[in-house]
Each structure stands twice: as C-alpha cells, then as structure tokens.
C-alpha cells in the first residue's frame, strides 16, 4: 500500500476520493496494477491513508462504474482488463494535439461576415425574456418535427410578400442550417439522383453531395448564371442553383435562362431544381428578382434559404419549401425526424417577425450595406481599369478582375503576406477548365465598419503594388 501514500494531498482543493480514483485509474491503464490484482479492503486502505472509508468507497465506486475494477461479493475488489480504455485515452490526447487554430487576419474580406453593430438587441432581448416566462413550459417539450407552426406561418407569409414564393406553412421544414437540411433533401430525392452544380459554386454544398455519396456534374456559369444549354447535355436529374445572386460570381440568372431551366425540369419526370436563395434580401439595383419557385407551374422547385445573412449566422435557423407532392414522401422518409432548432429560438424569431421587426431590420440593413458597397466601389474606382468590379447588384460580396500577369492564387498569397485575407475565384471551381483569362478575386464587405473600408482597399492595392492611374 506504500504506492498510494505520496499521491494523496490533503491540502489540495481536489476532493480526496477524486485524487485516489485518478491515481488508481492511471496505474491500472499503465499496467502498474496487473489484471486480477486484488485491491486493499476499504477499511485497511482508509486506516493506512488516515482518511474515511466513505472516501475509499466513493473512489472504488467510480472505478467500478467505469469498468476499471470489479466488486466480488464477500471477496473484494479486483483489477479488470482495460486495454481498450487505455487506447481511448491515447486517441483523445492525439486529437487535442492535432486540433488546428484558425488564423486571424488584420484585414479579412470574408463574404460570410455580417455587421454585428446594427443588430436589434433590445427587441430581441424583449422577446427572449417573454419566451422564457413560466407560462411557456410547453416549449420545453419537443414540438412539430418540421418546426413549430408559428414560425413556419411567418416564414410562408414573408416569402410570399418578399420573394413571390407560393406555399403554405405545411410545406416549410425548419432546420439548423443549410448543411443540416441539404442531406435531408439529398436522401429524399433518392440514390438515383444526379446533381448538377454551378461551376464555380458554393464549396460547402459540393462537399455535402460528396459526403452523401451522390454523383455530381459541374455546369459552367457565365454573366447570365448557369449555362442551361450545357445542363441539357448532362445526365443530371437535379439542378442546384443560386439564381438571384450566384455564388461566388454574383451573376443573376437571366429571364430567358430561368424559363429554360424550368422547362428543363418539366420535360422529364423526376427532375427538380434546388433554388438556394441565401442572400436575396440584399439587392441594391432595380426591383427584387422573383424566385424560381414563384414562377414554377409544375412543382419542380425546392426553395431553400437561411437567416444567417439577414439576422445572424449563429442563430442556426434555415428552412426549405417542398412542392406539395413531395410533402408526404418527406414525412414517410423521415418519420422519426425532430427539428434541430430549439423551440425557444423558433418562438423568439416568430414573434420578432410577427410584430414587424424583421422587416424593419432588413430595411435598415439593406441601407447600411448599400452605403458600404458604395464606399467600397468608390474606393476601387480609383484603380480602374487595372481593377474592375462585377457582381455588385446584390449580396455582401463583389468580384474583382485584376489586370495582372499573376494568378488569383498568387494575388491571394501577396495579400496574406500583408496580413490581408481575400479569396481566389479559382478556389470555387471544380476544374481548371473555366478559369478566366485574368485573375479574379472575391471580397466581402458586410463585416467592415464603413470608415475601415477605404483604408482596407488601399492596403490591398499596396500589397498588390497597384497604383492609381
């Protein structure tokens, strides 16, 4: 029993039973205590360490519960075989050591960032307090698997008035982000589905298709959006598109191609369009672009969107709208599915929308982002024609075409050396076939304070050694 004497520190804030439990566990894992070794009785070990038997009983009890030792009636405690447990401990340590740390840049033109300073905290706090009232006990239980009807009704109403989406609350399915909802759609459409994706396009969605073992075909994008004529020559059965503001080019699917795409979906049974409307709220030129879903006469469009850009990324609330004929198939396919969004958050958002604060917030943010875009474009105008802008009609990012002998990846690297993060358009391509003759770089502006935009542009141009003409 001498092995335990130096390991118990009675002056430590760590409980004595926990000290003893940890030491015995480590010795068992290392093999210091062989399998089958009988441990001292609680009375003897308590006397030897001058601590209570209750302390020994708590330590032994935890070791029994975790399978390190076993208790034999009227005999005592014996060491168990724990090689597998030792392996788990080693693997956990290895994972901790290999975890990467994301680099922070002095200037980051990340297109996913929003303006956090303009968030309506007072109104949101008010509704959060009301939802947490004791009269809301029902919200502690599981709600409707597609999301609570209060929020689905608000979403359906908002989509009709703002995007021309025609649907009922029954057709809406709520989930915690596009990356959680897309796999549901992928499995609903079946293993035989072949997905056409935009090239260049949104990498996360492409990874989701690959992770779910679905075949994808890349379809080129130009200034009018996805080339539907190219799609028509592919074996695809489902087209995933961002028609209102193509990511990353910023192109808008032209009216003729919208009709062409809808006709493609209607011409053969089993074809569908997934319309990702990720940031359509922020359009700065002309009237809002109507949704494909609102134009669809054959129920071939599945509409998907999120509150990440319009409210906050951390809210983790997204949704899709199913054609009516797919609704029953969805419910049969996912009978045990529970909505992944907490009901408390759903009801805060529903009340926020019902009382008109969401619309007010969007109007305020649209004006704010328009000002930032104007500030950004004015700053970049000074560097024409070396640097040209595209995709500025909507959203929270633009594309720069740079008259340079360098590649877009080399321009990204030069920016990194100046502690600036920008994003090469080639990073969003499925292949090198459609790389443009001049380098193109994506920059976001939503997360900047207005006063920081012009200095950020100057720093980027300096990194690229581009001077005003």
Each domain of the chain, given as residue ranges in start order, spans 2-98, 107-111+360-463, 119-359
- Considering the four listed CATH numbers 3.10.50.40, 3.10.180.10, 3.40.50.300, 3.40.640.10, the one that applies to the domain covering 119-359 is 3.40.640.10
Backbone dihedral angles phi then psi of residue 91, each to the nearest 5 degrees: -65, -40
Closest CA to 199 of 272, 238, 248: 248
The reply to whether 2-98 and 107-111+360-463 are identical in fold is no
What CA–CA distance (Å, rounded) separates 147 from 272? 24
Does the domain at 107-111+360-463 match CATH 3.90.1150.10? Answer given as yes
Q: What are the residues facing 240 on neighbouring strands?
A: 274
Tell me the mean pLDDT in the region 211-230. Answer: 93
Cα 144 to Cα 158, 177, 316, distances in angstroms: 20, 17, 18
> Which position has the token pair 């709208």?
321
Instruction: Dig out the tokens for 340 from the structure.
Output: 């992944």
* CA dist list (Å): 338 to 2, 76, 332, 341: 55, 47, 13, 9
pLDDT at residue 324 in the model: 94
Mean pLDDT of 268-280: 92
Beta bridge partners of 173: 320
- What is residue 85's predicted lDDT score, i.e. its pLDDT? 45
The pLDDT of residue 320? 97
Q: Which of 275, 285, 95, 61 is nearest to 182 (CA)?
A: 275
Q: Considering the domain delimited by 2-98, tell me its CATH architecture.
A: Orthogonal Bundle (1.10)
Q: With residue 157 as reference, give the H or E element that holds it.
A: helix 149-163
Q: Give the confidence band of 104 by pLDDT, cuts at 50, 70, 90.
A: confident
Phi-psi region of 200 (alpha: psi -120 to 50; beta: other; left: phi over 0): beta
Q: Determine contact, residues 170/159, Cβ cutoff 8 Å.
A: no
Q: What is residue 137's predicted lDDT score, i.e. its pLDDT?
A: 83
Helix (H, G, I), strand (E, B) or coil at 273: strand
Name the band, by pLDDT with cuts 50, 70 and 90, for residue 74. confident
Share of the chain above pLDDT 90, in %: 61
Q: Which of 20-24, 319-323, 355-359, 431-435 has the lowest mean pLDDT?
A: 431-435
Q: Which of 167, 354, 358, 382 is nearest to 275 (CA)?
A: 167
Please state, in angstroms and rounded to a whole number, the distance separating the CA atoms of residues 280 and 309.
Answer: 9
């Amino acid at each position: 029993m001498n092995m335990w004497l130096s390991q118990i520190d009675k002056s430590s804030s760590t409980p004595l039973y926990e000290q003893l439990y940890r030491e015995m566990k480590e010795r068992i894992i290392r093999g210091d205590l062989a399998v089958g070794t009988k441990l001292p009785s609680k009375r003897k070990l308590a006397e030897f360490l001058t601590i209570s038997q209750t302390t020994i009983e708590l330590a032994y009890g935890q070791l029994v519960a975790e399978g390190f030792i076993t208790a034999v009636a009227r005999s005592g405690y014996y060491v168990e075989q724990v090689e597998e447990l030792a392996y788990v401990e080693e693997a956990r340590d290895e994972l901790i050591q290999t975890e990467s740390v994301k680099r922070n840049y002095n200037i980051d033109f990340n297109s996913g960032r929003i303006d956090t300073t303009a968030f309506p905290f007072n109104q949101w706090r008010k509704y959060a307090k009301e939802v947490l009232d004791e009269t809301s006990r029902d919200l502690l239980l599981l709600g409707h698997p597609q999301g609570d009807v209060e929020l689905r009704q608000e979403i359906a109403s908002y989509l009709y008035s703002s995007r021309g989406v025609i649907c009922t609350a029954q057709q809406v399915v709520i989930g915690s982000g596009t990356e959680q909802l897309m796999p549901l759609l992928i499995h609903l459409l079946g293993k035989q589905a072949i997905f056409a994706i935009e090239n260049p396009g949104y990498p996360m969605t492409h990874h989701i298709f690959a992770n779910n073992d679905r075949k994808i075909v890349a379809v080129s994008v130009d200034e009018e959006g996805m080339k539907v004529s190219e799609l028509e020559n592919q074996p695809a059965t489902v087209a995933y598109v961002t028609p209102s503001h193509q990511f990353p080019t910023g192109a808008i699917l032209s009216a003729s191609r919208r009709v062409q795409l809808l006709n493609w979906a209607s011409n053969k049974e089993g074809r569908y369009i997934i319309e990702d409307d990720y940031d359509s709220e922020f359009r700065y030129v002309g009237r809002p672009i109507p949704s494909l879903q609102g134009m669809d006469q054959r129920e071939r469009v599945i509409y998907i969107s999120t509150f990440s850009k319009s409210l906050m990324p951390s809210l983790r609330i997204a949704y899709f709208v199913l054609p009516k004929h797919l609704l029953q198939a969805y419910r049969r396919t996912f009978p045990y599915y529970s909505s992944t969004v907490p009901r408390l958050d759903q009801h805060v958002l529903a009340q926020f929308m019902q009382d008109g604060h969401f619309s007010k917030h969007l109007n305020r943010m649209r004006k704010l982002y328009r000002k930032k875009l104007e500030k950004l474009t004015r700053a970049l105008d000074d560097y024409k024609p070396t640097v040209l802008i595209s995709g500025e009609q909507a959203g929270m990012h633009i594309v720069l075409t740079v008259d340079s002998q360098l590649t877009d990846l080399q321009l990204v690297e030069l920016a990194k050396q100046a502690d600036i993060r920008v994003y090469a358009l080639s990073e969003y391509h499925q292949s090198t076939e459609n790389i443009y003759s001049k380098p193109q770089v994506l920059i976001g502006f939503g997360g900047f304070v207005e006063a920081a935009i012009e200095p950020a542009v100057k720093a980027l141009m300096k990194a690229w050694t581009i001077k005003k003409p």
